[in-house]
A and B are shown apart, each in its own frame.
Chain A
Amino acid sequence: MKKTGLILLLVIISSNAFSQGIFGGKVTGNFQMDLQMSKEDTVIGAEKVNEKALMNAFTNILYTNGDFSAGMRFEAYLNPILGFDKQYKGAGFAYRFASYKKDFLEITAGNFYEQFGSGLVFRSYEERNLGLDNAMDGLKVVARPINGLTIKGVIGKQRYYWEDVWASDDFGLIRGIDAEFTLNSLIKSIENSPLQVNFGGSFVSVYQKAENRFIIDPVSGDSYKINTPENIGSGAARVQMSYKAFNLNAEYAKKGQDPNAVNGYIFREGQAALISAGYAAKGLGINVSAKRIDNMSSKSKRNETGNMLNVNYLPALTRQHAYSLFAMYPYATQVNGEVGIQADIIYKIKKGSMLGGKYGTDLKLNYSRTMSIENESLAPNPAGNYEGTDGYSSSFFKVGDELYFEEINLEVSKKLSSDYKLSFMYSYQTFNPIAIGHPGEEFVYANVFAADLTQKLSKKNSLRYELQLLLTEQDYGEWAAGDWIQGTVEYNLGGKFFAAVSDQWNYGNAHGEKVHYYNLSVGYTHGTSRVQISYGKQREGIMCIGGVCRMVPASNGLFATITSSF
């Protein structure tokens, strides 16, 4: 009742504010609705959908008045669109908060998102297109007592679909604290020094009641009890430095014993290191990153696998692709262990030079490689597995011998004349199916090409032509087989209207049908509202954002999206 009353109050206040503006405050928000109608298509594997239409929708309403803000989000999944977990089915207020800043304190009660450092020990965030939301429900305090020092404290539980997480002891309680120092703001005399230094540290603890787990010796029938720890602590330290054109970022994190379903209930401690160094000058940017992850999955529920209840965030060190055929074989972070490097070089060939031409030419080179960590198994338990043991040993500076993913990308973009822009992209990818949880399968080696031409017809009319080609000898069979070609033509009118037609053709499929995945879409944008309707076939595949992936099942039919901001 109290909840309903509060929500009602918020709704009334917000709706009032539309017409009159309340106490000088400002109401903002957004809305999105996805509607899907898919029919059975056995050739592409689109399953029969019992409901006529599937729908995901949400709306955020936020009220801000100077140092005060409050907001909420209503979500409805009736029923969730294909690829979203069925447990999302339902509707309600999934997120509500109020926040106030007074002097040097900022207090948020209710739901919140937050990140410590790069997120190796704590990150609460949402990735709506993946159906991922690990919003905290609790209390957050941020203090900035002096210029250059920020202290954050959080306590709460994470969202799990529509579950009342406070009603169950199964959902762990997260407590965390983080401090960050901006040296050049703390010390006045070096404020404008070319050397800028920030450092910080965080500590996070997850509390979950112990559970009784037993290992049974299959021969003697003896059982051994595993004492699962109730408090799992993790800590991280980080530094960020820049000196003139150079910059360096590093973070190291360590996690205490955390036997869980993801690591097979081993007691080995976890660790993660992330380092990146860069050089940036006018027309040239270079960045090299490296990371090592060892047994670092951290969830607020011991027996949870999948994308929910992640306490931390372990980014994938690979390029995030925008072209669909380039993203056919994506990489997902291996939270139990991986070591990887990535390098980026971005260079602008000056205009007026021989290669640069009248407008200059942009070059982007990217390379990434991820390997397993060195791993020596320890003695197994009496049941023959590693549950309850330390699992394995691994040397920090040694790399394992299994390749997980490797990719090289080259992108060249050039404005040809005042009306034409051309970009060309090439990628060579080595994909180990272990990246999506299929160990021991044949690697896929793919050459992928894209050419993208934009033609300005008049001041506000334009056409875009895109051609992509994926060549591979392997017939992976899961969602892709052999060679693919894709063509797209898109027409834009004054940023208001667009129409596109595309076809993705699996012409190199040696065993199955050579399917055409055609798609027609039209869209209309007015200010901050946009409607887009597409009709066609969607191939089964994997969609990844930030190294976290979800399966997108095949579908055949209509998909409409409406978005709006206010």
Chain B
Amino acid sequence: MKKLILTLVALVFSFGILSAQDNQPKSELPSITVKTLEGKSIKASEFSNEGKPYVICFWATWCKPCMMELNAMAEQYEDWQEETGIKIYAVSIDDARTCPKVKPLVSGSDWPYEVILDQNSELKRALGVNNPPHTFIINEKGEIVWQHIGYAPGDEENLIEVFRKVIKGEELK
């Protein structure tokens, strides 16, 4: 059985390399299926902001710095959106225990984000996220151009500064 699996892994792998050559991926994000708050399936590779850059934040209801980050961004969100057209995907990694709290928390806190459920941490694993909060900026080509882990007050200022650069197509240090 083990040998069989290993052979399969090798087969699938070589097949992947061969067939991937002529087929340039549109988004760097994996085509992992996650859910919206309404229970609809969506692939991470389908995340978009009408051709503009966007942000992905990994969070959980039990993560205190995540609450601080999402609250801090929500306060400025209107201004940011007017200026830059930003869109934020807030990906919750809450499992079956705390997942029912996501929706009331989002609406109770009046958060303006696109909330995504990653109940068994599949997207989290695929993007190499260790612990929340973990924030990504994706450029208009679907490439991950910036990442940040953790949250300290003031980090949201840094995020929007980088986002402005990404919109203008400036080089990031």
Interface residues of A (CB under 8 A from B): 2-3, 6, 9-10, 22-26, 28-30, 32, 60, 62, 64-70, 96-101, 107, 109-110, 113-115, 118-119, 123, 125-126, 137-139, 142, 144, 150, 164, 166, 182, 184-185, 196, 198, 240, 242, 247, 249, 274, 276, 278-287, 289, 313, 315-317, 320-322, 344-348, 359, 362, 364, 413, 415, 454, 456, 459-462, 492-495, 498, 525, 527-528, 530, 546-547, 563-566
Contact = CB atoms under 8 A, between A and B. Distances in A.
B122 interface: yes
B163 to A, nearest CB: 15
B157 to A, nearest CB: 6
A467 to B, nearest CB: 15
B110 A320 contact: no
B148 A495 contact: yes
Contacts of B148: 495, 525, 527-528
**What 9 A-B pairs have minimum CB-CB distances, sorted nearest first?**
A285-B104, A346-B108, A68-B16, A285-B108, A315-B97, A280-B107, A492-B152, A66-B25, A30-B128
B152 A99 contact: no
Contact of B104 (A123, A313, A344, A527): A344
Interface residues of B, number: 73
B109 interface: yes
Q: Residue among B17, B28, B30, B127 with the most chain A CB within 10 A?
A: B30
Contacts of B95: 119, 125, 313, 315, 546
Contacts of A97: 9
B80 interface: no
A2 B9 CA distance: 11
6 contacts: A64-B28, A68-B20, A113-B122, A281-B107, A460-B154, A530-B149
A373 B118 CA distance: 32
B152 A240 contact: no
Contact of A119 (B3, B5, B40, B96): B96
Interface in B68-97: 68, 71, 75, 95-97
A260 B9 CA distance: 34
A60 B125 contact: yes
B130 A150 contact: no
Interface string B149-168: 11111110110000000000
Nearest to B147: A528
Nearest to A289: B100
Interface of B: 1-3, 5-10, 12-13, 15-17, 19-21, 23-25, 28, 30-31, 33, 38-41, 61-64, 68, 71, 75, 95-101, 103-110, 119-122, 125-131, 134, 147-155, 157-158
B6 A2 contact: yes
B107 to A, nearest CB: 4
B64 to A, nearest CB: 4
B104 A286 contact: yes
Contacts, number: 254
B120 A125 contact: yes
Contacts of A68: 15-17, 19-20
Contact of A459 (B62, B105, B119, B157): B157
B74 to A, nearest CB: 10
B100 A287 contact: yes
Contacts of A530: 149-150
A2 B3 contact: yes
Nearest to B119: A115
A249 B100 contact: yes
Contact of B110 (A66, A317, A348): A348
Contacts of B68: 454
Given A125-B120, A460-B157, 14 more contacts: A68-B15, A68-B17, A96-B9, A110-B9, A113-B122, A118-B96, A119-B95, A139-B5, A184-B40, A281-B107, A320-B62, A413-B71, A462-B152, A527-B148
Contacts of A184: 40
A119 B152 CA distance: 34
A115 B6 CA distance: 23
Given A495-B151, A495-B158, A346 B105 contact: yes
A24 B6 contact: no
A322 to B, nearest CB: 4
A67 B30 CA distance: 8
B40 A185 contact: yes
Contact of A322 (B10, B63, B134): B63
Nearest to B60: A320
Contacts of A65: 16-17, 20, 25
Nearest to B7: A2
Contacts of B119: 115
Nearest to A348: B110
B159 to A, nearest CB: 9
Contacts of B105: 285, 346
Nearest to B61: A320
A498 B152 contact: yes
A138 B8 CA distance: 10
A278 B104 contact: yes
A22 B16 CA distance: 12
A563 B33 CA distance: 26
A70 B139 CA distance: 24
Contact of B25 (A2, A24, A182): A24
B121 A113 contact: yes
Given A28-B127, A346-B108, A528-B147, A113 B120 contact: yes
A123 B119 CA distance: 11
Contacts of B106: 280, 285
Contacts of B153: 454, 456, 462, 492
Contact of A64 (B15, B98, B120, B126): B126
Nearest to A66: B25
